[in-house]
Amino acid sequence: MDLVTIDDISDAAARIDGLVLRTPLIDNQRLSGEFGTRVLLKAENLQHSGSFKVRGALNALLSWQERGELPEGVVSFSAGNHAAAIAYAGKRLGVRVIVAMPSKPVPSKVANVERFGGEIVPTDDLAATLAELAEEHGYPILHPFDQPEVIAGQGTAGLELCADGPSPDLVLVPVGGGGLLSGVAAAVRKLAPAARVIGVEPATSNAMGQSLAAGEVVRIPNPSATVADGLTAPFAGQYTLPHVQAYVDEVVEVDEDAIHSAWRELIEASKLLVEPASAVCLAALRSGVVRAPEGGVTVLVISGGNADLSRLAGLG
């Protein structure tokens, strides 16, 4: 299998230029003082549709358009962020979007999808419903993570963080299915080869960690509940797993208590509205699962900001 390269990511960056935000890389003095390393936050929560996912969605659709293959519609599955991203991209390009989502989704994520005109099909079996939608409508699947064009699009966040700040010593990336981790790692491995790239996933939803241990794709049809709902991928992908094997130094797990505490602390320290999935990287540092390089540069990729506002009241 050919892996996504820095050239693929550079092409994606040119393709989506002007359609996505070049999100800021923000110095955080509070966290830097705490960990003894310069902490920078790649704030993808500020992105169109509220997460990094719009990068991959747009790159995939625009790649199809370049080949004269832009479809009338696409189908997919998502906990919410990918759904909003392809709805946003589809609205820009005139493509109908139908997405299978969990039957009990985060309300703010549903609203985000509907705001951009995406059609939601609630389900308790994402994979089966996706197959049914593809057969019913005859539309291609725009996968939330396991597609080379999606991986290359997500990698543009890594391209930016390397270009916009000092060379990182450590890059921490949230991981569900692995699209963001695969793309960012591919960029960082080329542009900052000495940096360590570590993926962080919830202990209760660890398809990538299980797949790495097994050396093959492991499917978890019903991942256990986690406050980091954006990281509940039911499997690591046939494309993402080889990328993580090739480009990523380690994938670690954090428990629910660590994520919950880090979510509150990240909001307090950054003054950014982030969702719990974005807090797993801070949780890894706080719990000691990952040690920051003393005197070095550590980048935390803030994956999204589509938080369930009703949960914020419980963070006190």
pLDDT (average), residues 280-303: 97
Q: Which of 97, 116, 137 is the last residue of a domain?
A: 137
Total domains in the chain come to 2
**CATH label of the domain that carries residue 96:** 3.40.50.1100
* CA separation for the pair 316, 40 (Å, rounded): 25
Q: Do the strands 250-254 and 196-202 form a parallel or antiparallel pair, or are they unpaired?
A: parallel
| pLDDT at position 316 | 58
Res 279: pLDDT: 97
Residue 49: active-site member: no
Q: What is the mean pLDDT of the chain?
A: 94
**Known catalytic residue: 303?**
yes
Domain boundary among 92, 118, 137: 137
- Give the tens place of pLDDT for each residue, 2-30: 999 999 999 999 999 999 999 999 999 99
Residue 72 within a domain = yes
Indicate if 151 and 223 belong to the same structural domain.
yes
Q: Which residue range(s) make up the domain with 96? A: 53-137
Q: Contact at 8 Å (CB) between 229 and 304?
A: no
Q: From the candidates 53, 109, 205, 278, which is the catalytic residue?
A: 53
The one-letter amino acid code at 21 reads L
CB 16 within 8 A of CB 49: no
**Cβ proximity of 104 and 123 under 8 Å:** no
Residue 1 in any domain: the answer is: no
The domain boundary, picked from 116, 137, 158, lies at 137
For 157-213, what is each residue's pLDDT tens digit? 999 999 999 999 999 999 999 999 999 999 999 999 999 999 999 999 999 999 999
